[in-house]
Amino acid sequence: MNFGLIFTFFVLISSSNSAWWSVNGQYPAPILQANYGDRILINVTNNFGDPASIHWHGLFQRGTNYYDGIVGVTQCEIPNKVTFLYNFTLEQYGTYWYHSHTLGQIVDGLKGPLIIYDPKDPYYGKYDYEYVMTLSDWYHTPSGIILPLFRADDYGGTEPLPDSGEISGLGQYDCKAAPKNSTCNSNNKVATYVVKKGKKYRFRIINTSALVHYVFSIDNHPFTIIEVDGDYVKPITLNAIPINIAQRYSVILDANQPIDNYQIRAHISICGFVSDLSINYNTSLNYDVTGILKYEGAEDKLPTSKADSLNYTSLQCRDVNPNSLKPYYENKVPKNVISTFKALVDFNILPTGKVIGLINNSSFVPHSSYPTNQQIVEGVDPYKLPSYENAHVYECNSGDCNDAAVDIHIINDNDYTHPFHLHGHRFFVLYNGKNNTGIKPPHESDFNLKDPVTRDVVTVLPNSTTVIRYNANNPGVWFLHCHIQWHLNLGMAAQMIELPSIFKNTTTIPSDVTALCVGIDLDKKNK
Ligand code: C2O
Ligand code: CU
């Protein structure tokens, strides 16, 4: 394998039927593969019609904050028929993904895996082959129709519910739930992974859903977790993994069972408003999305394996217990806390009936105005950014700045679960409060400062507080948000403005990035 090369990818976003997005004509979008240390050039051509941008989920983008892909935060949108070049170096390894960060395009399929191989992967040699697997929900109605309804003044309902779920693009749909007179075919293809008896397989599993949390298992096959969101962990063997939206796990599976077909199960849970109303979702969602683990030599028939007995209630809408995950390499938790951001997460119902998502009483409205990072480079005082920017600013003014740390207390003052994601970093999970333990500040004595796992999406449980810490060593503007697509669309997001003085003094934004903003009015706040 070669490391440190430059790879060029071409990403053409287009549509076959004017509603769903695809990349180079494929759904799921093609797997981008590169090596640690490579520079990758991705030419994104927008051939779809709506404005777009692509975010590289989990990448640090050190020195290239303007390629992070967030309209209004790090770039202006890529207009129809325009090609934009993303160009950055990979200083990390593991399982990532790329997706649209605009409107509801993620719902319509604009998302795919991004795998970065590591020459020093400590698990090389512990498995023979690898598979990349995506789990997703699937909506039969395009987001362009759903989103305006959901955001309407008098909506007052649950998050839009998907019609089904799928594994690597193949799902099942119960035709009993289909509208009368529609053509519906329940005999769809099933995602099938072929294994040889006696071999070991690494599965890289990515939950790319808009709303669904999955509990993933394979009948008769416990597996060993080795990677969480790009970071290696000490091996731990489980029968099932809860995977929240945007999280990734690598597991090693031992194909050591009798030659046969075994059911792969991705158990659907919805952890938003609908769970609170205890609506039985709708019948079409009340099932496990299935796939097949097929041993070479097994007959072509559907699996008859029995599900392992799993306690779903202890797994739904949660993470793998963070205390059971231990980093593979010793991770030093930075200690010079330069800033603590207390992010109170909630919803509000306006007098009109419209629901909005809040962080500290401010709702981040997706807008097409000038990106925050360009404003800072051009000299806008970050402390005086317009309030709608919902920003938290921090500089390192004292102590060892290599050891500078920021703590975020994600304080969840409502009954729902939120998978929170921070861009530009992998964070230490210091404290993950239990359900309904209230929003009182946690005691520092309860923080795990010794061996916390790092990740980039953490599940914040209902009415509880989660504390994360990260090394403030990446100047730029980094988005912090709930990764439930619909909560993001309601404004549950904030911007972390990291070391703005250094950012301003060391950043020149390339002219092809600023060119996207020509004609965008700085004051157009598009509320
Ligand atoms: Cu997966 Cu803000 O992103
Ligand atoms: Cu949320």
Please return the burial class of 156, using the count of CB atoms within 10 Å of its CB with bins 0-12, 13-18 and 19+.
exposed
- How many angstroms separate the alpha carbon of residue 220 from the centre of ligand 1? 34
User: Which ligand has its closest atom nearest to the C-alpha of 482?
Assistant: 2
Fold of the domain built from segment(s) 123-327:
Immunoglobulin-like (2.60.40)
- How many angstroms separate the alpha carbon of residue 418 from the centre of ligand 2? 4
Token pair listed for 92: 């990390």
Ligand 1 site, residue 418, Cβ cutoff 6 A: no
Ligand 1 site, residue 57, Cβ cutoff 6 A: yes
- How many angstroms separate the alpha carbon of residue 376 from the centre of ligand 1? 22
Minimum CA distance residue for ligand 1 atom 3: 57
- How many angstroms separate the alpha carbon of residue 245 from the centre of ligand 1? 10
Task: Please give the number of the atom of ligand 1 that sits closest to the Cα of 457.
Answer: 1
Q: Do domains 1-121 and 123-327 have the same CATH topology?
A: yes
The answer to whether 383 and 183 have CB atoms below 8 angstroms apart is no
pLDDT at res. 527: 33
- How many angstroms separate the alpha carbon of residue 55 from the centre of ligand 1? 7
Q: Tally the C-alpha atoms within 13 A of residue 462's C-alpha that lie toward its C-beta.
A: 12
pLDDT at res. 459: 96
Ligand 1 site, residue 481, Cβ cutoff 6 A: yes
Residues in the chain: 527
Q: Which residue is listed with tokens 């709708």?
A: 282
CA dihedral 414, 419, 424, 430 (to 10 degrees): 80
Fold of the domain built from segment(s) 336-515:
Immunoglobulin-like (2.60.40)
pLDDT at res. 525: 38
Neighbours of 470 (CB within 10 A): 24
Torsions phi, psi for 449 (to 5 deg): -100, 0
Residues 420, 229: Cα–Cα separation, whole Å: 13
Please state the separation of Cα 349 from the chain's center in Å: 26
User: Which ligand has its closest atom nearest to the C-alpha of 355?
Assistant: 2
User: Which ligand has its closest atom nearest to the C-alpha of 484?
Assistant: 2
By DSSP bridging, strand 111-117 and strand 32-35 are parallel
Closest CA to 88 of 109, 107, 62: 62
Task: Please give the number of the atom of ligand 1 that sits closest to the Cα of 481.
Answer: 2
pLDDT digits (tens, 9 = 90+) for 62-91: 999 999 999 999 999 999 889 999 999 999
Q: Taking the domains of the chain in order of start, what are their residue ranges?
A: 1-121, 123-327, 336-515
Minimum CA distance residue for ligand 1 atom 1: 57
- How many angstroms separate the alpha carbon of residue 104 from the centre of ligand 1? 12
pLDDT digits (tens, 9 = 90+) for 395-433: 999 999 999 999 999 999 988 999 999 999 999 999 998
User: Which ligand has its closest atom nearest to the C-alpha of 462?
Assistant: 2
Ligand 1 site, residue 101, Cβ cutoff 6 A: yes
Q: Tally the C-alpha atoms within 13 A of residue 313's C-alpha that lie toward its C-beta.
A: 1
pLDDT at res. 349: 85
Ligand 1 site, residue 469, Cβ cutoff 6 A: no
Residues 177, 186: Cα–Cα separation, whole Å: 11
pLDDT at res. 308: 85
Ligand 1 site, residue 294, Cβ cutoff 6 A: no
By DSSP bridging, strand 6-14 and strand 22-23 are antiparallel
Closest CA to 399 of 310, 339, 478: 339
Architecture of domain 1-121: Sandwich (2.60)
DSSP percent split of the chain into helix, strand, coil, nearest 5: 10, 40, 50
Ligand 1 site, residue 423, Cβ cutoff 6 A: yes
- How many angstroms separate the alpha carbon of residue 504 from the centre of ligand 1? 24
Q: 311: which residues sit within 8 A by CB, 6+ positions away?
A: none
Complex prediction ipTM: 0.99
Task: Please give the number of the atom of ligand 1 that sits closest to the Cα of 97.
Answer: 1
Closest CA to 225 of 253, 251, 207: 251
Torsions phi, psi for 297 (to 5 deg): 95, -10
Q: What is the pLDDT along the chain (527 residues), one digit of tens a residue?
A: 444 566 666 666 665 444 566 677 777 788 999 999 999 999 998 887 788 899 999 999 999 999 999 999 999 999 988 999 999 999 999 999 999 998 888 998 889 999 999 999 999 999 999 999 999 999 988 888 999 888 888 887 788 988 889 999 888 777 777 777 777 766 678 899 999 999 999 999 999 999 999 999 999 999 999 999 999 999 999 999 999 999 999 999 999 999 999 999 999 988 887 665 444 455 456 678 999 999 999 999 999 999 888 888 889 999 999 889 999 999 899 999 999 999 999 999 888 878 899 999 889 875 557 899 999 999 999 988 865 668 899 999 999 999 999 999 999 998 899 999 999 999 999 999 877 777 777 889 999 999 999 999 999 999 999 999 999 999 999 999 999 999 999 999 999 999 999 999 999 999 999 999 987 766 543 33
- How many angstroms separate the alpha carbon of residue 19 from the centre of ligand 2? 25
Torsions phi, psi for 376 (to 5 deg): -70, -45
Task: Please give the number of the atom of ligand 1 that sits closest to the Cα of 423.
Answer: 2
Whether the predicted model's global pTM rises above the 0.90 cut: yes
Ligand 1 site, residue 111, Cβ cutoff 6 A: no
- How many angstroms separate the alpha carbon of residue 219 from the centre of ligand 1? 31
In the chain, count of helices (H) and strands (E)?
6, 31
Ligand 1 site, residue 421, Cβ cutoff 6 A: yes
Task: Please give the number of the atom of ligand 1 that sits closest to the Cα of 479.
Answer: 2
- How many angstroms separate the alpha carbon of residue 484 from the centre of ligand 2? 5
- How many angstroms separate the alpha carbon of residue 366 from the centre of ligand 1? 14
The answer to whether 36 and 3 have CB atoms below 8 angstroms apart is yes
By DSSP bridging, strand 493-498 and strand 391-394 are parallel
